[in-house]
Structure 1
Amino acid sequence: MKTFTDFMGRKVTLENGYVDNTQHVLIIPKFQGQFLLTNHKKRGLEFPGGKVEAGEALVEAAQRELYEETGGLVANLHFVGTYTVHDKDEPFSKAVFCCNLDRLDQLQDYKETSGPKLVNNIEEIDDKDKSELLKDECIVHLYEEVRENGCQ
C-alpha cells in the first residue's frame, strides 16, 4: 500500500487489490499512443470516471463512464488498483483501470464534460487547464505507472 495526500490535505491510499464497497471508477485510457482525457465543464482536464450505478459492476461502470465522457470504446481494460480518500465525514474508494481503445466515437452529448482531449503526456497541459484531480499526487503516480509500464 502506498500513501499520499490530496489537494484538500486528506490521506489517500493506493492498494493493489479491490476494496469492498467501492462506488467510483477512474480510467487512464490511451488511444493511438496518446492519453485520452475529458474536459470537465467545471473542473477542467482530467481522466474520465465517475460513480457506479445501482446493480452495475465496476468494469461496466468504467466502460460506461469512459464512453459517456469521451466516446471511447474499450479494447482491453485492466485493473490497476484502488484509490481511497480517507475523508473524515465520508471516505470513498475508486477502482482505477487503464485501457487501450478500439475507437473514439464523436457524441452529440458528453454529459457533464465538453468531450475528449488527446495528449502525448499530461506535462504538456498548462496547470490552469488541469482539474485538481489531474494534479493529485496519487493520480499522477498512477498515470506515470501506466506511462512507464503500459496497460497490462
Structure 2
Amino acid sequence: MYQFEDIYHNKVMLSFKDHPYSKEPKHVWVICKFEDQWLLTSHKNRGLEFPGGKVEIGESAEQAAAREVKEETGGHVSKLHYIGQYKVEGREKIIIKNVYFALIDKVEKQSTYFETNGPVLLKQLPANIRKDHRFSFIMKDSVLTYSMQKIMESNSF
C-alpha cells in the first residue's frame, strides 16, 4: 500500500490488492492505450486526463469503466484489467476509485463527449506532468506514477 497527499493535501491510499477499500466502489479511472498511444480526454474544466467517473446504479465498476471511456473519448474497450484501488480522504467526503488499464481497439467520432471535449492521443506523457498546466489535477499525484509503474512491470497486459 502507498500513502501520500494529493495536490489539495488530501490523504490518499493506493493499493494494488483486490478491492481493499470497497467491493463496490462508486468511481472508476481508466488508463487507456490505443495503437501505441495514450488515449486521454480533454475535460472542459480540469484539462487533460484519463477517462473516468461515477458508477451508475445497477452498473458494475467494469461496466462503468467501459461506458466512461466510450462517453468521454469514443473509445471501445477491447481488454480491461483491474490495476488497483485508491481512497481519497477529503475534507467533505471519502472517494474510492478502481483503477483500470484498458486496451482500446477503435475510437469513433461522436456528436457529444458529455462533459469533455473528446479524445486526445499522446505518444508519451510528459515527464513534468505535475507542473504542466494542460493536465488535470487527477494526473498530478502519485496514483498515476505508481499505476503506470505497475502497468509497465506487468507482462499480462
Q: Shared fold by TM > 0.5?
A: yes
Aligned to 2:147: 142
How far is 1:4 from its partner?
1.7
Q: Does 1:121 align with 2:124?
A: yes
Deviations 1:108-132 (A, max 9, x none): 1000000000111211768011111
Q: Does 1:77 align with 2:69?
A: no
Q: Please, which runs of 5 or more residues in structure 2 have no aligned partner?
A: none
Q: How does 1:1-150 map to 2 (within 5 A)?
A: 1-15=1-15, 16-18=17-19, 19-20=21-22, 21-123=24-126, 127-149=132-154
How far is 1:144 from its partner?
3.5
Q: 1:130 to 1:151 in 2, by over 3 A?
A: farther
**Superposition RMSD in Å:** 1.7
Q: Please, which runs of 5 or more residues in structure 1 have no aligned partner?
A: none
Structure 1: 4+ residue segments shifted above 6 A: none
Using the alignment, how far apart are the partners of 1:34 and 1:92 within structure 2?
29
- If the length of structure 1 is used for normalisation, what is the TM-score? 0.92
Using the alignment, how far apart are the partners of 1:139 and 1:79 within structure 2?
14
Q: Is the 8 A contact 2:72 2:114 kept in 1?
A: yes
Aligned length in residues: 152
Q: Is the 8 A contact 1:4 1:138 kept in 2?
A: no
How far is 1:139 from its partner?
2.0
Using the alignment, how far apart are the partners of 1:28 and 1:150 within structure 2?
16
Using the alignment, how far apart are the partners of 1:144 and 1:115 within structure 2?
26
How far is 1:99 from its partner?
1.1
Q: Is the 8 A contact 1:99 1:151 kept in 2?
A: no
- If the length of structure 2 is used for normalisation, what is the TM-score? 0.90
How far is 1:25 from its partner?
0.2
Secondary structure, in 3 states, of the residue corresponding to 1:53? coil
